[in-house]
Amino acid sequence: MDQINVLGKRAFLLFKSKHTLIWLICYTLLAIPAELCAQVPDFTAAEKFDAPNLQKLMGTTQVIPFFLKKSNRFWMTAEDLLAKSSSGKKMSSVQVQVQVENTSVERQYFLVDMDRKEKKLLFNKSVILARLAKLTGKPVEKQRIDYTGDFSEDEKTVSINYDGIRYDYAYQQETLVQHVAQQKSAPVYLIGNSSPDKKWLIYARHHNLYLKKTSGTADTAARVLSADGAAHFSFSINDEDQFASNNTETDAVWADDSRNFYILRKDTRKVEHMTVVNSLSAPRPYVVTYPYELPGDQYVAQFELFIGNTAANTLKKVDIARWPDQEVSLVRNGILSNGEILLVRKKRSRDEMELCAVNLNTGKLHVLINEVSKPFINEDLFNVSVINGRKNILWWSDRTGWGQYYRYDLNGKLLNAVTAGEWTAGKIATADDAKQCLYYYGYGKEKNCNPNYAFVYKVGFDGRKDKLLTPENATHAVFISPTKAYLVDNYSAINLEPRSIVRNNEGGFVQEVLKPDFSQLYTYGWKQPEMFTVKAKDGVTDLYGLMWKPYHFDPDKKYPIISQVYPGPFTETVWNEFTVLDRYNNTSLAQTGFIVVVMGHRGSSPYRKASYYKFGYGNLRDYALEDDKYGLEQLGARYHFIDMNKIGIFGHSGGGMMSAAAICTYPDFYKVAVSSSGNHDNTIYNRTWTESYQGFDQPVALNQSLAKDLKGHLLLVSGESDQNVNVANTYRMADALIKADKDFDLLILPGQSHTYEEPYKTYFQKRLRAYFAKYLLIK
């Protein structure tokens, strides 16, 4: 009120004189605090730093090695930017911006010899162009040359294709000759699953299972092994009727002896359906109806296991019953040295499971491991593998509160913990039976490091000699050579540019194979996001986050803040690796004139301790909300450039659910929300999701019940044809807002699924930026 009175008094003095008038207008405008002035959204900068433009200024950022079979070598590709200054000098930002539309990339192929520490071009393209012109006798269109990674058996030549003709290129001598095919009988392609000795074939027809002798006898008549196959109760990998009259592949698995086989069949005949419409199909819109299990459904998928024998020509059903509506899966490498196979069956509540062994000859089943993990099993990290010459079973469990690996014998007896401690053992990179060791990812083991960073370790099957192989304070992704002699390590962090190196199996540096050049990106004006940590609402747990600022950032100004959210629980959308093209285009949004942040929260990352990961159980809608609000409050107190009176929130899918819930739960805190493809009504979302993370005993909280509390501005978005999060979720939220007489905005993208394609993706991004600008900047 005092401020208004002062401004009023100054306005009263405007009538004194012409010169006084001019001076007082300037004085009055300068006296208005910056936060009371509307800001101008910079849509030009937002589009300049939109993901498609940034993509054109990047080459390859990580190596995917394709290992050769007979040597410690691999080939790889890398894309180089072609639009560089002809003088080799650094270009100005204006020059770079002009070249964005004219930049292209060229894919180069390299051969890396890890033993010799060499990296060479695999294809000399100028030589190949000249050789092809000579061989064909006419000009060659270089863009039509198909470079492949198809090496000869002796690995001395690699093939290319041009105009339908195959050529062999000797990369050492740089010679090119037309490929001469060896005189062999044309291979006969048989649809189905061939036995290891190639004498038997299993296939499906009319949804039933067939066994056929393919060699070694004149008796090649097909044996029909089943008679009750039907659509959605099929032995075929395609359980629809559309292809039922043709021979089709199955999921049958052969034993090594080529005598026994086994197959799992899924029965979804009683599963009810959901429907979406695609309005863009011509000449008429069409309706897609698909089986979709909802939480609490009476009829869900059922599983049957069968074993067969080539001598008996019969199929025997195995009794695998344990719990009603259990889920059953086969362990794919799960044939033990005693000839038994492994399967995992899980309780519908997903808090108990068993590892079972089945005798292929008798069909007898017995339980090896029973695991109870309350309130639900961490299925993102759970792993069971057969190791040590099929004599041991490797089993992941968070029974101690931390996910670790345990070794069992073939009778289900615990031999030892392979990993142990207050940190999480993650995915297996590989197992080396010859050297009795395991290569695996670990999280939170290294002190003073982000617990979401992936490090790679090696440990003996007996749990001894645990060794860190990737020591850099970054997140690592490795590929291990077939000989287990080398690791190709791609590592980076938000503040550490990517680097790809070769290590030996003790972690020692061998050679660098890729160091991307981001000079054009920096010249263009791009900057890395900033890392931060805040506390969860409990005041103890560390949460890790990222912040994007406008590149014309002025620390003396106030900026609205927008939180990009995703509740998990199977992941966080807080990137750990070097990030240019973040999935939600936060860079571009920030350039509009915002501070954009994303942070983790309890109940998200599966890489931390079990209590962190399972925090949200039974509270599927609300568990992430207080941590996001409390984190934003800490950032507002820490940074004076954040305007805590202008807070927005947005997210997609689970993030769409969370953003709508947040603006209705804290209507005086969040002022604007964009909610895209949100599962607002989890009673009509995926059964396993809701039953796993919400449980059977807790009522499902719906966003519709919060609609009456909306005060700010909410934009609901959905793809019309989304079979993951059905558009009905968004319509039900809209219906609740209408009945509560609330103003809101609705955008339906015709024909779009859960992932928006162009041009709808770009259109949505523009509307999102404009929506936040309208209510956080212009008003």
Query: How far is Cα 649 from Cα 595, in angstroms, rounded to an integer?
Result: 11
Please give the pLDDT value at position 202. 95
Confidence of residue 349 (pLDDT cuts 50, 70, 90): very high
Q: How confident is the model at residue 6 (pLDDT cuts 50, 70, 90)?
A: very low
Residue 83: predicted pLDDT: 41
Q: List the alpha helices (DSSP H) in 77-117.
A: 93-99
Among 453, 460, 732, 459, CA closest to 605: 453
**Range in 34-48, 355-369, 672-686 the model is least confident about:** 34-48
Residue 559 has pLDDT above 90, yes or no: yes
Cβ contact 326:303 at 8 Å? yes
- Alpha-carbon distance of 654 to 667, in angstroms, equals 19
Task: Say whether pLDDT at 453 is over 60.
Answer: yes
What type of residue is 707? A
- Write down the domain spans for the chain: 2-32, 60-178, 527-778
Sequence-separated (6 or more) residues with CB below 8 Å from residue 645: 35, 671
Mean pLDDT in residue range 426-454: 97
The whole-number pLDDT of residue 8 equals 34
pLDDT at 106: 82
User: Tens digit of pLDDT for each residue in 106-119?
Assistant: 889 999 999 999 99
Q: Mean pLDDT across the stretch 259-283?
A: 96
Name the pairing type of β-strands 341-346 and 327-335.
Answer: antiparallel
List the alpha helices (DSSP H) in 639-723. 654-665, 687-693
Question: Does the pLDDT at position 691 exceed 50?
Answer: yes
52-91 pLDDT tens trace:
999 989 889 999 999 999 999 999 999 875 444 444 455 5
Categorize the per-residue pLDDT at 181 as very low, low, confident or very high, splitting at 50, 70 and 90. confident
User: What is the Cα–Cα distance from 765 to 115, expressed in whole angstroms?
Assistant: 48
More confident residue, 35 or 142: 142
With a cut of 90, say whether residue 653 has pLDDT above it: yes
444: left (phi over 0), alpha (psi -120 to 50) or beta: left
The mean predicted confidence, pLDDT, of the chain is: 90
CA dihedral 721, 722, 723, 724 (to 10 degrees): 180
pLDDT band at 136 (very low <50, low <70, confident <90, very high): very high
> Residues 472-487: what's their mean pLDDT?
97
Decide if pLDDT at 351 tops 80.
yes
Q: Which CATH architecture has domain 527-778?
A: 3-Layer(aba) Sandwich (3.40)
- In the structure, what pLDDT confidence band is assigned to residue 641 with cuts at 50, 70 and 90? very high
User: 440 to each of 63, 342, 381, 427, how far by Cα in Å?
Assistant: 19, 22, 12, 6
pLDDT at residue 38, as a whole number: 62
Mean pLDDT across the stretch 599-619? Answer: 95
Nearest to 310 by CA among 213, 203, 214: 213
* 102 pLDDT higher than 60: no
pLDDT, position 449: 96
Percent of the chain beyond pLDDT 90? 83
The token pair that represents 769 in the structure block: 């930026």
Residue among 649, 498, 493 at smallest CA distance from 575: 493
204, 210 contact by CB (below 8 A) = yes
Strands 404-408 and 414-417: antiparallel
- What pLDDT does residue 214 have? 86
Q: List, as own/partner pairs, every contact residues 444-451 make where C-beta atoms lie below 8 angstroms and the sequence separation is at least 24, other chains included.
A: 444/607, 444/608, 444/609, 445/421, 446/473, 449/473, 450/475, 450/493, 450/544, 450/576, 451/423, 451/424, 451/607, 451/608
Helix (H) or strand (E) holding 338: none
Q: Residue 662 has which token pair?
A: 């947040």
For residue 35, pLDDT beyond 60: no
The residues that bridge with 159 in the sheet, in sequence order, are: 168
Q: Of 242-246, 281-285, 288-292, 403-407, give the range with the top mean pLDDT.
A: 403-407
The continuous run of DSSP H or E covering 753 comes out as: none
